[in-house]
């Protein structure tokens, strides 16, 4: 079982309280909205591509600490990267969060590795991956995504009562 | 069965807890503090053993063959039905229909009663406090028939506004659906009074008792409700079983909900004659083991006594409410005068899902989310809450663990 308290203490103290790149880019070349119907959370990601490079990126929205911190750290991680690099990082993050990455092997997650623990908490995986799904949607010029979409690897029906 | 009997009040909690093997679990190296009883309660050893005895010595299909096991299983299944009948003081055992749970029971009434008797322009009264399972079936009916739903509002405390309820009635009102106890807020609704008002206007009433049956003594004849529904897994029984009570004259007038075996008297391709109630509504092989286990769960609850269960849970509620009210930055949502042992709460600046994960880290299980009652959440303008719900096997020390957990959450987010 992941030590959620440690995760919280590490990311909450930092990114939840002082989210980086928080806000909206205007104008933006790419933009998407992401929703998590399970908890009503939603975030938006806007970015400016200069050529193939993420020149600027920002996010905003109402979300839990896991989602907000993941979004904040995502913007830091992909800023300055090419679209291809950012998409590759997205795939790696999704693999890590859903438990498909062997964390004992070398990887390029860096500080993002604090989110590896959510793989043990299926209901929280969605919180961590929502920003990355939204980033992917923004690149693809899909304007809205949902963690309930078919593409969501952790798709599960909502609980009762 | 060998359910222990408890003669002295208050409850001998340690002895009761010893009946529940799962309560010995550790979660994250901390003793499990299970406070998600409104979603599902845990099962005592007596019920687990009853399931084993049935499966090892009594199982066969029911109402069919003449051999020993079939007769035994049929007998035990019908004994369970009578246990359920007595539990809510129904007049006759044929007024008890086994369903898969509250949701199926309400869907049965919608299909069996609603589709036969509710027409375009008719109105169905529901309340803001309803669980989705007492909203969505009626919306489906309205879509099909052109009937309309009218909704009883609540005040800031989470209580139904009865004047508004009464003002909703008119000559088009054909049905009322009301939850006995709100799963999201714990409000105990004045259903007896509401039923009397509806009956004075010739309108039948369905009561969703999913949260009430486990926590207080239900008497359907005293309430005079037309329909009552609950789920077995919320009162120490297994999932996949529940009950619909209906007054015999309604059940007889209703159309079957599912077609199949056991619900017929005779079948030809020209004409099928339906079986009498309750069998008319129990098509196919039912969850026999689950029904018998639910009977055993009710025997267990009766051995403790519903009045004593209610009193203990009320004490837990009062203790927890007082403690939380003393905590700065924590707000209880739902402060009705009459409440069951459910506390929905919010912590300033902390998302409910973060609360749930951090409490889980301390071994404390609460529910976070909209509790399948989104209209309630909309009323309080919150997307979700955290909810602690107590059962008779919870202790004051577990309330303390919840309070300590909330403090930990506040420290992490400080």
What pairing do the DSSP bridges indicate for beta strands B173-179 and B205-208? parallel
More confident of the two residues B342 and B1: B342
Query: What is the residue extent of each domain of chain B?
Result: 13-38+306-412, 49-302
Look at residue A160 and tell me if it is in a domain: no
- Which candidate from B103, B354, B383 shows the least CB-CB separation from A40? B383
Structural domain boundaries enclosing A139 = 4-145
Q: Does A157 touch chain B (CB under 8 A)?
A: no
**CATH fold of B13-38+306-412, please?**
3.90.1150
Closest to B373 (Cα-Cα) out of B181, B205, B168:
B181
Look at residue A63 and tell me if it is in a domain: yes
Q: Where are the beta strands (DSSP E) in B39-147?
A: 96-99, 123-127
The 3-class secondary structure across B353-409, one letter per residue, is HHHHHHHHHCCEECEEECCCCHHHHHHCCCCCEEEEECCCCCCHHHHHHHHHHHHHH
Q: pLDDT tens for residues B203-251?
A: 999 999 999 999 999 999 999 999 999 999 999 999 999 999 999 999 9
Look at residue A150 and tell me if it is in a domain: no
- Return the residue of A nearest to B386 by Cα: A39
How many structural domains compose chain A?
Answer: 1
Once rounded to an integer, what is the mean pLDDT over residues B1-5? 44
Contact in structure between B384 and B24 (CB atoms under 8 Å)? no
Closest to A66 (Cα-Cα) out of B323, B413, B321:
B413
Q: Does B210 touch chain A (CB under 8 A)?
A: yes
- Return the residue of A nearest to B103 by Cα: A160
Q: pLDDT tens for residues B183-194?
A: 999 999 999 999
Gap between the Cα atoms of B6 and B285, Å rounded: 37
Could you check whether B13-38+306-412 and B49-302 share the same CATH topology? Answer: no
Question: Among residues of chain B, what percentage have pLDDT more than 90?
Answer: 87
Q: Which one of B142, B225, B236, B372 is the catalytic residue?
A: B372
- Which candidate from B183, B210, B353 shows the least CB-CB separation from A64? B353
Closest to A159 (Cα-Cα) out of B242, B132, B229:
B132
Is the domain spanning B49-302 CATH 3.40.640.10? The answer is: yes
The pLDDT, as a whole number, for residue A157 is 39
CATH of residue A96: 3.90.1010.10
Confidence band for A103, pLDDT divided at 50, 70 and 90:
confident
Q: pLDDT tens for residues B38-75?
A: 999 999 999 999 999 999 999 999 988 889 999 999 99
- Return the residue of B nearest to A65 by Cα: B354
Q: pLDDT tens for residues B77-116?
A: 999 999 999 999 999 999 999 999 999 999 999 999 999 9
The pLDDT, as a whole number, for residue A147 is 64
Look at residue A158 and tell me if it is in a domain: no
Look at residue A123 and tell me if it is in a domain: yes
- Residues in chain B within 8 Å Cβ distance of A147: none
Instruction: Tell me whether residues B210 and A161 touch, CB distance under 8 A.
Output: yes
Look at residue A155 and tell me if it is in a domain: no
Look at residue A157 and tell me if it is in a domain: no
Confidence band for A155, pLDDT divided at 50, 70 and 90:
very low
Closest to B106 (Cα-Cα) out of B235, B248, B257:
B257
Look at residue A159 and tell me if it is in a domain: no
The pLDDT, as a whole number, for residue A158 is 37
Q: Does A65 touch chain B (CB under 8 A)?
A: yes
ipTM of the complex: 0.78
- Residues in chain B within 8 Å Cβ distance of A158: 369, 372
B372 included as an active-site residue: yes
Q: Record the pTM.
A: 0.90
A14-18, B14-18, B32-36, B299-303, range with the lowest pLDDT? A14-18
């Amino acid at each position: 079982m992941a030590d959620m308290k440690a995760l919280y203490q590490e990311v909450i103290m930092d990114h939840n309280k002082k989210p980086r790149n928080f806000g909206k880019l205007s104008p933006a070349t790419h933009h998407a909205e992401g929703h998590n119907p399970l908890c009503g959370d939603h975030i938006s990601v806007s970015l400016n591509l200069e050529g193939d490079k993420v020149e600027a990126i920002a996010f905003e929205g109402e979300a839990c600490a896991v989602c907000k911190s993941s979004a904040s750290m995502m913007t830091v991680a992909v800023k300055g990267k090419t679209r291809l690099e950012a998409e590759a990082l997205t795939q790696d993050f999704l693999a890590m969060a859903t438990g498909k990455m062997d964390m004992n092997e070398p990887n390029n997650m860096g500080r993002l590795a604090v989110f590896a623990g959510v793989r043990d908490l299926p209901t929280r995986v969605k919180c961590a991956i929502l920003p990355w799904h939204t980033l992917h949607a923004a690149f693809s010029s899909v304007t809205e995504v949902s963690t309930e979409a078919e593409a969501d690897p952790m798709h599960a029906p909502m609980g009762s009562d | 069965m060998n359910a222990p009997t408890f003669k002295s009040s208050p409850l001998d909690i340690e002895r009761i807890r010893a009946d529940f093997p799962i309560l010995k679990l550790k979660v994250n190296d901390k003793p499990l503090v299970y406070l998600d009883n409104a979603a599902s309660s845990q099962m005592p050893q007596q019920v687990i053993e009853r399931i084993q005895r049935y499966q090892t010595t009594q199982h066969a299909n029911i109402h069919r063959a003449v051999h020993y096991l079939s007769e035994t299983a049929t007998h035990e299944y019908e004994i369970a039905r009578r246990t359920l009948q007595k539990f809510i003081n129904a007049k006759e055992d044929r007024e008890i229909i086994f369903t898969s749970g509250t949701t199926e029971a309400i869907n049965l009434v919608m299909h069996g009663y609603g589709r036969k008797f509710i027409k375009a322009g008719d109105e169905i009264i529901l309340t803001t406090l309803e669980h989705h399972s007492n909203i969505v079936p009626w919306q489906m009916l309205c879509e099909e028939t052109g009937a309309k739903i009218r909704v009883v509002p609540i005040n800031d405390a989470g209580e139904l506004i009865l004047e508004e309820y009464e003002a909703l009635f008119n000559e088009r009102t054909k049905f009322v659906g009301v939850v006995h106890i709100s799963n999201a807020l714990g409000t105990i609704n004045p259903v007896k009074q509401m039923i009397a008002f509806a009956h004075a206007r010739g309108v039948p009433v369905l009561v969703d008792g999913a949260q009430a049956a486990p926590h207080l003594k239900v008497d359907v004849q005293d309430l005079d409700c037309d329909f009552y529904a609950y789920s077995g897994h919320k009162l120490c029984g297994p999932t996949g079983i529940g009950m619909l009570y209906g007054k015999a004259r309604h059940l007889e007038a209703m159309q079957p909900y599912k077609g199949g075996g056991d619900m017929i008297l005779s079948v030809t391709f020209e004409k099928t004659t339906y079986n009498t109630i309750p069998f008319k509504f129990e098509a196919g092989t039912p969850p026999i083991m689950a029904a018998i286990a639910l009977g055993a769960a009710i025997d267990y609850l009766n051995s403790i006594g519903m009045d004593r269960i209610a009193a203990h849970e009320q004490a837990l509620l009062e203790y927890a409410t007082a403690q939380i009210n003393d905590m700065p930055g924590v707000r209880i949502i739902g402060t009705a005068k009459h409440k069951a042992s459910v506390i929905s709460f919010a912590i300033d600046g902390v998302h409910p899902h973060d609360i749930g994960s951090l409490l889980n880290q301390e071994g404390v299980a609460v529910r976070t989310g909209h509790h399948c009652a989104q209209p309630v959440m909309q009323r309080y303008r919150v997307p979700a809450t955290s909810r602690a719900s107590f059962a008779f096997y919870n202790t004051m020390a577990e309330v303390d663990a919840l309070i300590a957990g909330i403090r930990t959450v506040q420290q992490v987010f400080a």
